């Protein structure tokens, strides 16, 4: 007689065992460290849809607000800076900040603080830009905290992949606008 084995869904990553606070409204998949490709796909869909919605709303209420100024560089350089260099550097900085925040805060508190700090930092370059940027960094920070127990490079790799995908479309638009 054959027995059927029923497997339960993978549990939450260890840093979420204390709770997810207000982040519990996000899809449960973001808090599981089992399928990196799926985390990257869902993370990217959440970041891009949220960013488009926020930027559309801001453009509706504050038309003509300037985006970030990337200077007088060539299209290929802009593409590299926005979709290659920036995601790697910002993810490494975010990892350091989250490592410090996690010493004093729970996972969800560290994620909220990290996304707020990134929103403020991007607002320094362009005031309304930070209002759009906090959302992707909320997802990036959530993914980092989720994947960090698997290893530093796992966490950085998942976040960099989502971040590159998030920045790729705007980078292509920048290059095409040149």
Q: pLDDT tens per residue, the chain (178 residues)?
A: 555 544 334 589 999 988 999 999 999 999 999 999 999 999 999 999 999 999 899 888 888 776 666 677 787 888 898 889 999 999 999 999 999 999 999 999 999 999 999 999 998 887 888 889 999 999 999 999 999 999 999 999 999 999 999 999 888 887 787 5
Cα–chain center distance at 130: 13
Q: CA-CA distance, 136 to 166, in Å (whole number)?
A: 8
Residue 29, CA atoms < 13 Å, CB-side half-sphere = 13
> pTM for this one?
0.89
Residue 164, CA atoms < 13 Å, CB-side half-sphere = 11
175 exposure class (CB count in 10 Å sphere: 0-12, 13-18, 19+): middle
């Amino acid at each position: 007689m054959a027995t059927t084995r029923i497997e339960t869904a993978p549990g939450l990553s260890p840093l979420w065992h204390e709770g997810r606070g207000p982040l519990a409204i996000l899809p449960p998949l973001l808090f599981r460290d089992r399928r990196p490709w799926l985390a990257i796909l869902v993370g990217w869909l959440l970041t891009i849809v949220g960013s488009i919605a926020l930027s559309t709303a801001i453009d509706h209420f504050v038309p003509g607000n300037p985006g970030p100024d990337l200077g007088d560089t060539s299209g290929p350089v802009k593409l590299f800076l926005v979709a290659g260099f920036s995601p790697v550097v910002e993810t490494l900085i975010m990892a350091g900040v989250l490592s410090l925040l996690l010493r004093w805060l729970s996972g969800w508190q560290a994620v909220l603080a990290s996304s707020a700090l990134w929103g403020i930092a991007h607002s320094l370059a362009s005031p309304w830009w930070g209002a759009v940027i906090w959302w992707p960094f909320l997802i990036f920070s959530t993914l980092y905290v989720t994947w960090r127990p698997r290893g530093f490079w796992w966490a950085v790799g998942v976040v960099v992949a989502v971040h590159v995908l998030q920045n790729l479309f705007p980078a292509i638009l920048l290059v095409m606008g040149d």
